[in-house]
Amino acid sequence: MNLTFVGSRAETEEAMSRLSVESQAGLRQFSLERMTGYGVDYADAVELRARVIEGQDWHSAATELAGVCLRRAEGTAGAAGKPTQVTYLRRASALLRMSQMMMLSDTAERRVIFARAAELYARAAEASGDRERVTIHTDSGPLVGWLVPAGDTAVGSAIVIGGVEGWAMDFDSIGEALAARGVDALLLDGPGQGETRLAHAHYLTTEWRDAYGRAVDFLDGRSPGRPIGFIGNSMGGSVAMAVAAQDTRIRACVDNGGIHAPWLVPPTMGTFFSKMVAACGTGDPDRAVDVWKTVTPLADGPNTGYPLLVVQGGADPMISTDLAQILLQGAPTADKRMVIFSDGNHCVYNHKHDRDALIADWMTARLRGLPIPDITN
């Protein structure tokens, strides 16, 4: 039997020039490292990029590859095939999530795609038994998340969020790293993110703090008295810091790729700014900026002094090291440090395993009150 693939293609300037604007943007914005960082299998990422270089549009290429994975998942049988089934269901889900990344508005088609991705992820979770979907009710609508439990030996809990793109399911590797170290992980789609937004129309509004407070209530009620941490990726890092300073139940916080003043992102940043506006459920940029002005990672609060770890990519094209230094220096705590991966891209996707280990080890130590682990260069 011969398994046939398009195979890797050179992404030359000439090859790129023949593509549509959307295809060029997809290849540029979602590098191989970023795609695998969001859970897309390496082989699937290579094949997706090759098909796009050959002229197939981003959405259909990702969707067709998801279909291949799904057929493989459905072709397994019995207990012996369960690991294979779980693997291919998760691959299919990641590809479907990738297929909608270039969609800037919340169309019916996008909602169907994301719901299907979540359904496949849930099927994999049911088969593996290592995580479960949770729904947290708030005054502004439900929050949807995935709880990755550490088991009976859990020593703490942590919330993990993404940013304006890249949401709960996309950062499950951090949740898995936390659970392996004894920390229950709640992979959360906050207001304006993922299922919370696309299934329940719960957007980022000026009431967003209450929603995250309910998420902390959920973890606190599930395990009263257990220390809680908060990890935010990309713009979610700014949100995490803003929450940590205000909620005394947050014992430690990690910012991976956030910015000190989200509302300063200019409209000239194109699709990224458009996605920030879309997260607010509005077509009015001024109204969206007013909402983002309430995300204040440098503001004081009753929990000022919380332990903070800032993770930064030295080659991040979106958030420079200078901006990360402003965030670090202005954070309302003396208990803080920054770790820079010299060649790291945004959110350090190109050092995914090292990044996850660093974050999970630091968070576990802080929640347990242990010395901070040494970091080897």
Which one-letter DSSP state was computed for residue 338? Answer: E
**DSSP string covering 223-250:** STT--EEEEEETHHHHHHHHHHHH-TTE
**Rounded to 5°, angle at Cα 32 from 31 and 35:** 85
**According to DSSP H, which parts of the chain are helical?**
13-17, 21-29, 32-37, 42-53, 58-74, 82-99, 108-128, 172-180, 194-198, 208-222, 235-246, 271-279, 285-292, 321-330, 352-368
Mapped onto helix, strand or coil, the DSSP state of residue 218 is helix
Give the tens place of pLDDT for each residue, 266-322.
999 888 999 999 999 999 999 999 999 999 999 999 999 999 999 999 999 999 999
**With a cut of 70, which residues of the chain have pLDDT below it?**
77-80
How would DSSP label each residue in 178-200? HHHTTEEEEEEE-TTSHHHHHTT
Collapsing DSSP to helix, strand or coil, 324 comes out as helix
The 8-class DSSP code of residue 162 comes to -
> CA separation (Å) from 146 to 49, 118, 132, 279, 287?
29, 10, 5, 20, 31
- pLDDT score of 151: 82
pLDDT at residue 153 in the model: 83
Residue type, 348: V
For residue 339, list its beta bridge partners: 311
Question: What is the token pair recorded at 255?
Answer: 């910012």
Structure tokens at 167: 């949401």
Interacting residues of 357 by C-beta distance below 8 A, sequence separation 6+: 177
Asked whether 230 and 248 are in contact (CB, 8 A), the reply is no
Which of 156, 306, 174, 166 shows the shortest CA–CA distance to 241? 306
Distance of CA 322 to the CA centre of its chain: 23
pLDDT of residue 77: 67
